[in-house]
Amino acid sequence: MMDWSKEIEKLKKEKNAVILAHNYELPEVQDIADFVGDSLGLSIEASKTDAQVIVFCGVFFMAETAKILSPQKVVLIPEPEAGCPMADMISASQLLDLQKRYPEAATLCYVNTKAEVKAECDFCCTSANATEVVEKGLSSASSIIFVPDQYLANYVSRKTGREFITWPGYCPVHAAISEKDIERAKKLHPHAEVLVHPECRPEVTEKADQVLSTEGMCRYIKSSPQDEFIVGTEVGILHRLQKENPAKHFYPVSEEAICPDMKKINQEKIALALQDMKYQVELPEKIIQKAARSIERMLQFT
């Protein structure tokens, strides 16, 4: 069997490439990545890397964000069909129609959106900084459109006391996690702390001890004296959690919380991407310029 990791190491040097991977990617991808993180961490890493080529192992909107922040670099996504169903739930023209109905409102978009949507927004946010962006960046806005995740908007609204004009978008993976799943996991592991992602439904986030982005979970668990955790997000994160905290115990809220799009990239596809310099993320110059404003505004608060 081919040892793809050796091939990837060789090609990375030849092409001056860096490999970025999201916390939900397959273990074999996380293990060869130069950086593993959440949407925010990956955006920051993409904006400051010295490498000429960024191999982005995540879903398409994440690779687009890397391209927007580093337009002069080559950004490769080893599997161009790795999309995000939530990001596909709103288009730029749908957002423009909503903005026409609320001309006074500022627009905040979750990073899980297409580049064309980011280009029409005032601010971008991730699950790690949404509250901060609303409190610091949008404190003077009379009203705020927050798209596309209705559940993230609901969570940030409870945290900040602000009401949002929302969109009925959601993540199918997190929305499938139920209150019953939490109750079952708590019964099985009564001493464990419950951590969930803010893309979960309100009845789920209300039952959690902590509501955190994926990187927030990694950080929290590392510094916690607790040694048992019920994890309410996509199960791919358990690989990193177990690797970083070998003495701690992790229980997924639901074994079925699997994002199929985050499992589409593997070592072979990364090696082929580097060999053939495919698939390159390309965006119109105008979209890059407009979308960069909303992302850079977000990065000021992080």
Does residue number 202 form part of the binding site for ligand SF4 (CB under 6 A)? no
- Count how many residues are written for the chain: 302
Stretch that binds ligand SF4, among 117-125, 215-223, 255-263, 291-299 (CB under 6 A): 255-263
Does residue number 51 form part of the binding site for ligand SF4 (CB under 6 A)? no
Does residue number 221 form part of the binding site for ligand SF4 (CB under 6 A)? no
| The entry of ligand 13P, ligand SF4, none that residue 126 binds, CB within 5 to 8 Å by partner kind | ligand 13P
Query: Which residues face 20 on adjacent strands?
Result: 35, 56
Show the tokens assigned to 11: 């090609």
Number of residues that bind ligand SF4 (CB under 6 A): 12
Does residue number 199 form part of the binding site for ligand 13P (CB under 6 A)? yes
Does residue number 131 form part of the binding site for ligand 13P (CB under 6 A)? no
Which CA distances in Å does 166 have to 70, 95, 101, 145, 291? Answer: 30, 11, 12, 6, 20
| The entry of ligand 13P, ligand SF4, none that residue 39 binds, CB within 5 to 8 Å by partner kind | ligand 13P
CB of 26 to ligand SF4, least distance (A): 14
- Could you say which of 54, 106, 134, 171 contacts ligand 13P (CB under 6 A)? 171
Q: What is the DSSP letter of 136?
A: I
Instruction: Yes or no: say if 40 and 129 are a contact pair by the CB < 8 Å rule.
Output: yes
Does residue number 171 form part of the binding site for ligand SF4 (CB under 6 A)? yes
- Could you say which of 137, 150, 234, 297 contacts ligand SF4 (CB under 6 A)? 234
What backbone phi and psi angles, to 5 degrees, belong to 251? -125, 120
- Could you say which of 65, 214, 254, 267 contacts ligand 13P (CB under 6 A)? 214
| The entry of ligand SF4, ligand 13P, none that residue 85 binds, CB within 5 to 8 Å by partner kind | ligand SF4
Number of residues that bind ligand 13P (CB under 6 A): 10
CB of 220 to ligand 13P, least distance (A): 12
Strand order in the sheet with 74-76: 35-37, 17-22, 53-57, 74-76
Show the tokens assigned to 94: 């749908």
Q: Which distant-in-sequence residues (6+ apart) come within 8 Å of 217 by Cβ?
A: 195, 197, 210, 231, 233, 237, 241
- Could you say which of 38, 120, 261, 270 contacts ligand SF4 (CB under 6 A)? 261
Does residue number 262 form part of the binding site for ligand SF4 (CB under 6 A)? yes
226-243 burial, b if ≥16 CB within 10 A, otherwise e?
eeebbbbbbbbbbbbbee
The dihedral built from the CA positions of residue 105, 111, 112 and 114, taken in this order, carries a sign that is positive
Residues in touch with ligand 13P (CB under 6 A): 23, 38-39, 112, 126-127, 171, 199, 213-214
